[in-house]
Amino acid sequence: MLIPSINNSLNELIDLLKQLSQNEYSNSCAELSNATIGEHTRHIIEMFQCLENQYDLGIVNYDKRERNIRIQTDTIFAIENIVSIQQNLDKKNKNIKLLQIIDGEEIRIESNYFRELLYNLEHCIHHQALIKVAILQCETVIIDANFGVARSTIEYRNQCAQ
């Protein structure tokens, strides 16, 4: 269920990107502290890429992102990167160490591939919620009501509706 949920969120993002002009994608948004939809999209993509690219090594450091400006300015390139992520998600679960430097101190935490996929899904949804704020400025864009909403919230709302 995890990979289909990730694919669903990434497909929602692709559907959104297909509706945006390059200008809408790369325009700063005051409500997002002048960040752009493209910057949030790049961040989502590069977190998944970190996990994918560092999987074989078994040590993941999310701070080692490429920060590729083209992803945040070119919707077609961003979509290509999302599709590549989707094509490479289905890997065997294995132990992974998370590595991060916090206040000059190296922190290593035990994790595993599936846990990091779940983290990336939740991280993706969080940034989609932020993107949704910027989308309100784009009058012609149509997004699903559940775009940027946590799966647990969707389930809870469905139970309340019954």
Written as six digits, the tokens of 51 are: 């996990």
Buried/exposed 117-140: b ≥16 CB within 10 Å, e otherwise: bebbbebbbebbebbeebbeebee
Residue 138 near residue 20, CB atoms below 8 Å? yes
pLDDT along the chain (162 residues), means of 10: 94 96 93 94 98 97 95 98 98 97 96 98 96 86 85 78 78
Q: What is the per-residue pLDDT for 152?
A: 76
Number of domains in the chain: 1
Q: What is the per-residue pLDDT for 8?
A: 94
Residue 26 near residue 91, CB atoms below 8 Å? no
Q: Which domain holds residue 121?
A: 2-161
CATH number, domain with residue 57: 1.20.120.450
Q: What is the per-residue pLDDT for 42?
A: 98
